[in-house]
Amino acid sequence: MPELLQLDRVVGAYAKWAPIYDLVFGPVFRQGRRAAIDAAENIGGRILEVGVGTGISLPGYSPVNRITGVDISEPMLAKARRRVAALGLDHIERIDVMDAERLDFADDSFDVAVAQYVITAVPHPERALDELARVVRPGGEIVITTRVGAGDGMRGAIEKVMMPVTGRLGFRTDFPWTRYLDWMAQNPSVELVERRELPPLGHFALLRFRKLNPAAREILQ
Ligand SMILES: C[S@@+](CC[C@H](N)C(=O)[O-])C[C@H]1O[C@@H](n2cnc3c(N)ncnc32)[C@H](O)[C@@H]1O
């Protein structure tokens, strides 16, 4: 399937978003971010937040957890670093430029991997999902907040038509649930544990996937 998002365009788009991102996207995703942090902290421990952006979620994590944040956009991360320093968030261990599709971490490095409003912003979402699954330990979770595309029907058609426009703004509108189903079918190491609607308008969702340990995987196969 051809991908309409290109990494250099995404980087360019978020360089422009960085100065105003919190103002535009702060309140609208607040409930979703809280839900994602709560889900991640139910597991707790070493938490990776991919696409951490300006670090808007970072003050929400309890200091008992250790957080690593990565993002492809240096201007977004510059704001995150300033936030961490200003608020003295000592439990934020690392903030680094990194591509979600090529994470520079060993397998099974984290208890939880979080991606908030990121899966629809990367050029190859399935590659990013593969990487999230790789770096989480067996028994750990992948927590995603995202817009779920409509797929077929009028809304799906509108989403496809809008892609060239939203692609230039740094996100896609056309990533339907069937892409997650296909990804899960290719990845027997993960199981869906929750799909919950999020505001605004129920067009967004909280998704939780658990990485199975090898024994559980054998029983299920
Ligand atoms: C819509 S913003 C979400 C930011 C933040 N997670 C939030 O909750 O507001 C999408 C973020 O994903 C980042 N991003 C896009 N493509 C990426 C990639 N391939 N690897 C890492 N981060 C990426 C962007 O730079 C941007 O910071």
**205 closest CA partner among 69, 49, 50, 36:** 36
The count of domains in the chain is 1
Q: What is residue 120's three-state secondary structure?
A: helix
Work out whether the CA dihedral 183, 187, 47, 5 comes out positive or negative.
Answer: negative
Backbone phi, psi, residue 172, to 5°: -105, 155
Q: Is residue 1 part of a domain?
A: no
pLDDT given at position 190:
97
Q: What is the tens place of the pLDDT at every residue in 142-175?
A: 999 998 876 666 666 665 666 666 666 656 667 7
CA distance 149 to 132: 21
pLDDT given at position 213:
84
H-helix segments, 30-102: 30-43, 74-87
pLDDT given at position 3:
55
Ramachandran bin of 75, using left for φ above 0, alpha for ψ from -120 to 50, beta for the remaining angles: alpha
Q: What is the tens place of the pLDDT at every residue in 49-94?
A: 999 999 999 999 999 999 999 999 999 999 999 999 999 999 999 9
**Helix 7-17 to helix 153-169 angle, to the nearest 10 degrees?**
80
pLDDT given at position 157:
63
Choose between 89 and 217: higher pLDDT.
89
CATH number of the domain enclosing 30: 3.40.50.150
Q: Is residue 50 part of a domain?
A: yes
Q: pLDDT category, 217, cuts 50, 70, 90?
A: low
pLDDT given at position 1:
44
Q: Is residue 28 part of a domain?
A: yes
CA distance 70 to 59: 16
Which of 72, 105, 168, 173 should be mutated for ligand 1, with most atoms under 8 A from CB?
72
How is residue 157 written in tokens? 């058609």
Mean pLDDT value across the chain: 90
pLDDT given at position 171:
65
CA distance 36 to 32: 6
Q: Is residue 213 part of a domain?
A: yes
Rounded distance from Cα 216 to ligand 1 centre (Å): 32
* Residue 177 CB less than 6 A away from ligand 1: no
**29 lies in which domain range?**
7-220
For residue 172, how many C-alpha atoms fall within 13 Å in the half-sphere facing its CB? 23
Residue type (1 letter), 214: P
CA distance 77 to 154: 37
Judged by average pLDDT, the poorest of 128-132, 162-166, 182-186, 194-198 is 162-166
* Residue 76 CB less than 6 A away from ligand 1: yes
Average pLDDT over residues 112-133: 96
